[in-house]
C-alpha cells in the first residue's frame, strides 16, 4: 500500500491533471524528490535553486505540518496522506466595538427586532448578541468575489458598520461571481455599487468606503478604527500587508482565498494563534501562482468561502463557537469535501514571533518581488503591428501558450497552440530561424514563454502585448472577449 500524495489545483497541470498520486518512500523528502523527478515541471514549484523546499509551499503528513514534525525527514508509512499546500491566500470573544461595556451597547429599534427575529430567538445570539453585532465595525478588503458574499451576509446579519476598501469599477466579467453587483451597475465604481446594494438589503447598516489601494502608507490608519478585518484580496502584496497591519494593531484577520475549484479559509489572530506569515513566511515569485483572471474560478466558490468568512466574523463578534484560529480549512468543490489542517504559531515568525523583526509596515510590492521580474524591453509587439507584420511575413510563427479550453473560447487564426506547461518539452517542434511571437490572454504567460524560449537559445522572439484580448479590441472585433 503506497502513500497518497494530494496535488493542489495550481500544480495539477504538471501531473497530467491528476489530483492524487500513489508513491512509495520512507519519508517526505523521498516522496517529493520522486514526485519532482517523475514530473519535472513541478521541480521549480517545490524546490528553490539550492534544493530547499520552497517557503511558500507547506507540506502536511495527514493533518500535521512537517515543520512541527521532522521537516523533510518526517517518516511516512503506507496509507498516510501527504498534502502539498501552496499559497494561492476555544470560543474566546474578541473585544468588538463596545461589547465589553454592556451599558454602551446600542439599543434595537422595533424594526430591527422584527428584522433580526430569527437571530433573537437563538440562545447563542439573543438580544445581547444582536446588540454586539450592531456595535461591531468590520472592514472588508475588496468588494469582489470574496467580499461580495461576506458583505451581503454581514449586512443582513446586522453588523452595524461595514468598511469597504476597493478602487475598481464593476466589469461584466465580475458578474459571474461578484453577487454584490449587477448588470445595472456595470461601469460604476464598486464602492458605489456595493453601498447601493447593502443599503437596499439593510438600511440600518452604515457603510464607510475607502476608494483607494491599501498601502503601507494608509493601512494602519484605515484598519485601526475597525474591530475585525475580512481579507478578500487577490494579490500577495496586499495579503501580507493586511496580515502585518492586523498583527501590529492586534486585530483578527479573517482569511479566505480561492482558485478554480478550491478554497482556503482561516482566522489569523496573533493574540491567540498563528498569523498568515506563520503559514507562509514568504510569497511565491511573481507570476508563479496564476491569478483567477488567468486560471479561472468557479462562480459559486467565492460564495462558499466568503460565506465562511462572514460566519467566522460573526462568531468572533458574538464570542460563540470555535473560531478557525489555528486551523486552516481546505475546500474542494469538485469532491464537495472539506479538510482541516492544524496551524501552529511560528516562534521565528518575523512579525508575531518571539523576537519580531518587522515592527512597522514595509514595501510589500518589493517584498513580493513586484517590479523585480525579468525585463523584456523591446520584446513586445502591439496587436496592430503584429497584424501588419504577419501580413507582410506569412512565415512568422505565432504561438498561443494558453490552455486548450481557452483556445476553444477564442483563438487567432494561424496561431499554433502550445500550452505554457508543455512548452519546455516541445521546443524541438520549433524552427529557431523563424520569427516567433508568443501570446496568451492578457500577456503575462506569454512573457514567461518568452523567458523559456530565450533560455533555450531562440533569439527572434517577442510577446503580443495585451494578448488575445488586445487582438480582439484592436484587430478582430468579431473575436469574443473573455
From the first residue on, what is the mean pLDDT of each consecutive set of 10 residues in the chain (482 residues)? Answer: 87 86 92 89 84 86 90 92 79 50 79 97 95 98 96 98 96 95 97 97 97 95 97 92 97 95 96 95 73 78 97 97 96 95 94 94 85 57 96 95 94 96 93 93 91 90 96 95 92
Helix pair 301-318, 126-135: axis angle to 10 deg:
110
| CATH class of the domain at 3-86 | alpha beta
C-alpha cell at 124: 447563542
Strands (E) across 333-377 are located at: 337-342
Q: Cα separation of 336 and 333, whole Å?
A: 5
Residue 352 is a catalytic residue: no
Q: Which residues pair with 260 in a beta bridge?
A: 297
Q: Cα separation of 306 and 304, whole Å?
A: 6
Q: Which residues pair with 22 in a beta bridge?
A: 4
* 241, 361 Cβ separation under 8 angstroms: yes
| CATH class of the domain at 380-474 | alpha beta
* 143, 191 Cβ separation under 8 angstroms: yes
* 133, 122 Cβ separation under 8 angstroms: no
C-alpha cell at 449: 514563454
> Is 135 in a helix, a strand, or coil?
helix
Task: Please tell me the predicted confidence (pLDDT) of residue 290.
Answer: 64
Q: Cα separation of 396 and 414, whole Å?
A: 10
Burial 32-67 (b: 16+ CB within 10 A, else e): bbebbeebebbeebbbeeeeebbebbbbbbeeebbb
Residue 368 is a catalytic residue: no
Say how far residue 249 (Cα) sits from the centre of its chain.
23
In 10 A of CB 384, how many CB atoms?
12
Task: Please tell me the predicted confidence (pLDDT) of residue 50.
Answer: 80
Strands (E) across 127-227 are located at: 137-141, 161-165, 206-210
Angstrom distances, CA of residue 478 to CA of 133, 138, 216, 471: 51, 45, 43, 10
Q: Of 246, 275, 278, 292, which one is the catalytic site residue?
A: 292
For cell 520512507, the residue is 26
Q: Which residues pair with 58 in a beta bridge?
A: 85
Task: Please tell me the predicted confidence (pLDDT) of residue 418.
Answer: 97
Q: Of 246, 278, 368, 440, which one is the catalytic site residue?
A: 440
For cell 500500500, the residue is 1
Q: What share of the chain is helix, strand, coil (3-state, %, to 5)?
A: 35, 20, 45
Task: Please tell me the predicted confidence (pLDDT) of residue 369.
Answer: 74
Angstrom distances, CA of residue 105 to CA of 101, 117, 259: 7, 18, 40
| CATH class of the domain at 102-367 | alpha beta
> Is 420 in a helix, a strand, or coil?
helix
Strands (E) across 62-172 are located at: 64-65, 81-86, 137-141, 161-165
The domain ranges of the chain are 3-86, 102-367, 380-474
Own/partner pairs, 294-298, CB within 8 angstroms, 24+ separation: 294/440, 294/441, 294/442, 294/444, 294/445, 295/10, 295/259, 295/260, 296/260, 297/145, 297/177, 297/258, 297/259, 297/260, 298/260, 298/261, 298/333
Amino acid at each position: 500500500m503506497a502513500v497518497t500524495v494530494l496535488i493542489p489545483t495550481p500544480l495539477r497541470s504538471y501531473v497530467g491533471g491528476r489530483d492524487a498520486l500513489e508513491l512509495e518512500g520512507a519519508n517526505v523528502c523521498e516522496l517529493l524528490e520522486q514526485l519532482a523527478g517523475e514530473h519535472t515541471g513541478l521541480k521549480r514549484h517545490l524546490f528553490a535553486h539550492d534544493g530547499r523546499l520552497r517557503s511558500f509551499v507547506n507540506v502536511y503528513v495527514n493533518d500535521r505540518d512537517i515543520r512541527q514534525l521532522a521537516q523533510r525527514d518526517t517518516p511516512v508509512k503506507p496509507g498516510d496522506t501527504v498534502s502539498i499546500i501552496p499559497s494561492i491566500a476555544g470560543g474566546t470573544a474578541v473585544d468588538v466595538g463596545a461589547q465589553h461595556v454592556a451599558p454602551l451597547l446600542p439599543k434595537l429599534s422595533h424594526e430591527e427586532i422584527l428584522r433580526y427575529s430569527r437571530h433573537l430567538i437563538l440562545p447563542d445570539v439573543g438580544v445581547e448578541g444582536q446588540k454586539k453585532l450592531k456595535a461591531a465595525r468590520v472592514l472588508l478588503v475588496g468588494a469582489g468575489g470574496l467580499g461580495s458574499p461576506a458583505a451581503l451576509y454581514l449586512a443582513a446579519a446586522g453588523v452595524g458598520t461595514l468598511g469597504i476598501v476597493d478602487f475598481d469599477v464593476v466589469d461584466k466579467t465580475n458578474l459571474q461571481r461578484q453577487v454584490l453587483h449587477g448588470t445595472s451597475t456595470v461601469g460604476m465604481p464598486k464602492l458605489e455599487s456595493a453601498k447601493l446594494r447593502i443599503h437596499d438589503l439593510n438600511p440600518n447598516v452604515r457603510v464607510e468606503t475607502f476608494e483607494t489601494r491599501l498601502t503601507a502608507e494608509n493601512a494602519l490608519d484605515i484598519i485601526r478604527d475597525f474591530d475585525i478585518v475580512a481579507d478578500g484580496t487577490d494579490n500577495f502584496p496586499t495579503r501580507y500587508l493586511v496580515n502585518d497591519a492586523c498583527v501590529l494593531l492586534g486585530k483578527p484577520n479573517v482569511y479566505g482565498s480561492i482558485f478554480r475549484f478550491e478554497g482556503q479559509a482561516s482566522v489569523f489572530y496573533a493574540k491567540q494563534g498563528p498569523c498568515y506569515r506563520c503559514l507562509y513566511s514568504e510569497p511565491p515569485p511573481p507570476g508563479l501562482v496564476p491569478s483567477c483572471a488567468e486560471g479561472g474560478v468557479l462562480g459559486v466558490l467565492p460564495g462558499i468561502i466568503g460565506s465562511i468568512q462572514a460566519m467566522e466574523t460573526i462568531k468572533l463578534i458574538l464570542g460563540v463557537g470555535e473560531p478557525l484560529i489555528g486551523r486552516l480549512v481546505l475546500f474542494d468543490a469538485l469532491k464537495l469535501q472539506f479538510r482541516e489542517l492544524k496551524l501552529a504559531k511560528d516562534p521565528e515568525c518575523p512579525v508575531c514571533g518571539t523576537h519580531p523583526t518587522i515592527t512597522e509596515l514595509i514595501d510589500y510590492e518589493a517584498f513580493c518581488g513586484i517590479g523585480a521580474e525579468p525585463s523584456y524591453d523591446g520584446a513586445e509587439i502591439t496587436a496592430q503591428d503584429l497584424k501588419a507584420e504577419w501580413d507582410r511575413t506569412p512565415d512568422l510563427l505565432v504561438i498561443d501558450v494558453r490552455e486548450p479550453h481557452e483556445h476553444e473560447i477564442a483563438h487567432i487564426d494561424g496561431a499554433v497552440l502550445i500550452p505554457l506547461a508543455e512548452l519546455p518539452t516541445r521546443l524541438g517542434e520549433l524552427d529557431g530561424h523563424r520569427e516567433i511571437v508568443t501570446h496568451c490572454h492578457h500577456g503575462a504567460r506569454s512573457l514567461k514563454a518568452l523567458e523559456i524560449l530565450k533560455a533555450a537559445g531562440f533569439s527572434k522572439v517577442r510577446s503580443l502585448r495585451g494578448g488575445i484580448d488586445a487582438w480582439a479590441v484592436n484587430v478582430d472585433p468579431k473575436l469574443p472577449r473573455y
